[in-house]
Each structure stands twice: as structure tokens, then as C-alpha cells.
Chains A and B, each alone.
Chain A
């Protein structure tokens, strides 16, 4: 495998894989927040 094939493979697969993994984690965190919402009665405080 030549250097350019390697580099472009890494750019597409590793770069794309990183982005896709983080998107997936974002969705899962959203899901977690829906399944385990902040208990009602606790006031939403500003930070």
C-alpha cells in the first residue's frame, strides 16, 4: 500500500469513524437523559 492510499484511507475511515462514533455517543446521551430525566421537583438551576 502506498502512502497516499494509506493516508486517504485513514482520513476517510478513521476521520469518518471518529465523527460517527461521537454522533452515536451524542444520540445515546440524549437517550440516557430521556430515560433517566432529572427528578421533577428539583428546580433547574443556572450555572
Chain B
């Protein structure tokens, strides 16, 4: 009788005993989870993602809970939609349903800003390779430069699942930090005269038919050039086609709201569930965060420099700050450009131009990932 009581009591204290004996990584990650929850709940930093991720991180690091082990709740979420890439693709349907590509279609040349905004991906790839990461891990780290959470999750879960936790958290953290990362780079690379260039108003020149055909054209052209990335392109364009058709409002609204919300919750918990202390706390994680910062900084710098080139080529009609919005962090990057422009000229309205570049960045990031996957396939590496 006494023995069974002692055994029962020891079961109650096993978690605490584990925490003090070999649970230092768990304790650190419990604190990290707490910080993520604080940032989401109190500082309004990407709360929709950081709260589920933070809670998943807390849950998986409570010793002996086994929530991240086979059959555990968080592992079930992971297997349900991260390991098979379903969740990021459903998020893409939602993004497509939410995005108005109108400002981009008014001036299609602005798509080039979306290309410049992906430069960081390729330079970071070289950096990761130089640091000795295997090729598929280097690709997954570099894709943080897409500044696009679902794309990073899609590529990493497929080709370097062991890095999913750090890559996802880095991608979403830096997306949230865009308002802090962008302005110093934008100021450093432009003159005050360039920052005050006015670009006029955006005239409506796109017919509803052209807007409706746009997602189909992107799917066909992108799919034919880079078929390995078709799930990414196809889902975002499905969402956008539903939006532009206007005849399936129930599906569009469900994609924007219910599906996006439920999937975001499950996705966040699943990612948090990959942040178990012993697996997460490695020098590799620190290196990934460092390279993620480099990737996004280089994206912004390349966008601004490309903006300066366009400014020269158009005889000063393009404000180079708009180039910084060519990254995929939508719509934050566009808002930052508007704020920075008005800091130097209160009557300068760059927002719609920046939104165009920003949606170009969304397409650019997906196209970059799709092209990379198809090139990897062509090289026989996947």
C-alpha cells in the first residue's frame, strides 16, 4: 500500500524532477514561449501567429507531457497539415482571397520590384552554403528571404523538416519586425531629394475581365515554367480567382475568415510544437536567425537600389522608396513606405504605388520559391 502511494506521488513530481535534472533547455524554451506570448498579446506583434506558436512552444516544453511525441496533440496537428504541406497551402488560398492585385495590374512594370525584393534569397543561399549547411537546408534557410511565412513553411517542411521550428519563427518574427528593419536601410540608400519624389495618383485602367483572367494567366505561365511550385501558385491564384469572379462569395469569405482562422491556429500550434528545447537550442538556430535577418535586409536594400535605377531610367518619376515594398510582407511593407515618404513630404502619397509593389512582392516570393524547386528538381536534388 505504502509502495503504491509513493509510486503515485513520484508520478506527480516527475515533471518537476525532470525540469531540475535535465530540463534546462525546456526551461529556456518555456521562457521563449512566454516571450512570444507577451509579444503577441501585449505588443500586438503578429498576434494571430505568435500566440498559437508561443502556446505550442510552452506546451511542448512542459516535461513529460509528450504533446509533441507520436500520438500527442501537437504532433497530430503537425502530421495533419504541416508534414504534408496542407496548412500553408490553405493559407495561400486565404491570402489570394484577401488580396486585391488591382494596384499591381495598373502598372505591371512594378512586378519587377517584386523580383528585386527576392535578391536576399539567393545571396543568403550562398551565405548558408559558405557556412557549411547542406544544400537543401541552405535552400530552406534562404527562403526566409521570401519574407513570406507560408512559403518558408512549405519549402522547409518538405526539404528540411528538422529546421521547421527555427525557420518558421525567424520568418514570422522578421515579417513582424519589418517596420523596424526597413526604415534605416531605406534612409541609408536614398537622398532626401529622392525620398520626396511624388508619383501622382493611380488611375483605374484595368477591366474586371483582365482582373479575372490575371490569376489564370499566372497559374498557367508559372505552372508551365515551374511546375514544382504549382501548389503555391495554384492555391493563391485559386483564392484570387474566387474573389475576382464575385460569384462564390461564401467560399471567398470562408477562405478569408473561417478557413484562415482555423488553419492559422493549427499551423501555429504545430510550429510551436517543433520548438522542443533539446531539438531547438542549437548553434544552428542562432545561425538561422542571423541569416534570416541578412536575407530580409538584403531584400529591402536590393528593392531600394532597383528603385533608384528605375528612378534614373524614368527621368525621376519613380520614388526609390517604393522599391522597398517589393518584399512580400503585405501590407506592412507598403505602409512603411507610405510613412517614410510622408516623413519627408507630408503631402506625398506613395501608398497605392507601394501596395502595387508589395503585391508584386507576394507574387515574386511565390514565383521565386516555385522556380527554385523546379531548378532543384531539374538538378536531381529533390
A interface list, Cβ under 8 A from B: 1, 3-4, 6-11, 13-15, 17-19, 21-30, 32-33, 35-39, 44-47
Inter-subunit contact A26/B112 (CB<8 Å): yes
| Nearest CB in chain B: distance from A17 CB, A | 4
Neighbouring A residues of B279 by C-beta, 8 Å:
none
Neighbouring B residues of A33 by C-beta, 8 Å:
105, 108, 205-207, 210
- Does residue B203 face the partner (Cβ distance < 8 Å to A)? yes
Report the separation of the CA atoms of residues A4 and B139 in the bound assembly, to the nearest whole angstrom: 13
**A24 nearest in chain B by CB position:** B221
Inter-subunit contact B364/A22 (CB<8 Å): yes
| Nearest CB in chain B: distance from A43 CB, A | 9
Report the separation of the CA atoms of residues A44 and B206 in the bound assembly, to the nearest whole angstrom: 10
Report the separation of the CA atoms of residues A42 and B222 in the bound assembly, to the nearest whole angstrom: 32
Q: Report the 3 A-B pairs with minimum CB-CB distance, sorted nearest first.
A: A29-B108, A36-B209, A26-B108
Neighbouring B residues of A21 by C-beta, 8 Å:
221-222, 225-226, 367, 371
**Cβ 8 A contact of B207, one of A10, A22, A25, A39:** A39
- Does residue B197 face the partner (Cβ distance < 8 Å to A)? no
**Cβ 8 A contact of B202, one of A4, A10, A29, A47:** A47
| Nearest CB in chain A: distance from B367 CB, A | 5
Q: How many cross-chain pairs have Cβ atoms below 8 Å apart between A and B?
A: 124
Report the separation of the CA atoms of residues A11 and B209 in the bound assembly, to the nearest whole angstrom: 36
| Nearest CB in chain B: distance from A28 CB, A | 5
**Cβ 8 A contact of B129, one of A6, A14, A29:** A6
- Does residue B111 face the partner (Cβ distance < 8 Å to A)? yes
Report the separation of the CA atoms of residues A26 and B3 in the bound assembly, to the nearest whole angstrom: 76
Neighbouring B residues of A3 by C-beta, 8 Å:
129-130, 135, 138
Neighbouring A residues of B225 by C-beta, 8 Å:
17, 21, 24
**B368 nearest in chain A by CB position:** A18
- Does residue B122 face the partner (Cβ distance < 8 Å to A)? yes
Interface residues as binary, B105-133 with A (CB distance below 8 Å gives 1, 0 otherwise): 10011011011001100110110011000
Inter-subunit contact A25/B209 (CB<8 Å): no
Report the separation of the CA atoms of residues A17 and B378 in the bound assembly, to the nearest whole angstrom: 13
Inter-subunit contact A26/B109 (CB<8 Å): yes
**Cβ 8 A contact of B111, one of A6, A17, A25, A45:** A25
**B123 nearest in chain A by CB position:** A11
Count B-side interface residues using an 8 Å CB cutoff.
48
Q: Which of A4, A18, A28 has the most CB of B within 10 A?
A: A18
**B373 nearest in chain A by CB position:** A14
Neighbouring A residues of B123 by C-beta, 8 Å:
11
| Nearest CB in chain B: distance from A47 CB, A | 5
Inter-subunit contact A15/B135 (CB<8 Å): no
Report the separation of the CA atoms of residues A47 and B355 in the bound assembly, to the nearest whole angstrom: 12
Report the separation of the CA atoms of residues A32 and B381 in the bound assembly, to the nearest whole angstrom: 37
**Cβ 8 A contact of B364, one of A9, A11, A18, A35:** A18
Inter-subunit contact B126/A18 (CB<8 Å): no
**A27 nearest in chain B by CB position:** B108
Neighbouring B residues of A8 by C-beta, 8 Å:
126
**Cβ 8 A contact of A7, one of B103, B118, B126, B205:** B126
| Contacting residues of chain B (114-171) with chain A, CB-CB under 8 angstroms | 114-115, 118-119, 122-123, 125-126, 129-130, 135, 138-139
Neighbouring B residues of A10 by C-beta, 8 Å:
122, 125, 139, 372, 375
**A12 nearest in chain B by CB position:** B122
**B116 nearest in chain A by CB position:** A19
Inter-subunit contact A38/B204 (CB<8 Å): yes
| Nearest CB in chain A: distance from B274 CB, A | 26
Inter-subunit contact B125/A11 (CB<8 Å): yes
Q: A17-B225, A26-B111 are in contact. Are A32 and B122 (CB under 8 A)?
A: no
Neighbouring B residues of A27 by C-beta, 8 Å:
108
Q: A21-B225, A21-B367 are in contact. Are A14 and B210 (CB under 8 A)?
A: no
Inter-subunit contact A22/B204 (CB<8 Å): no
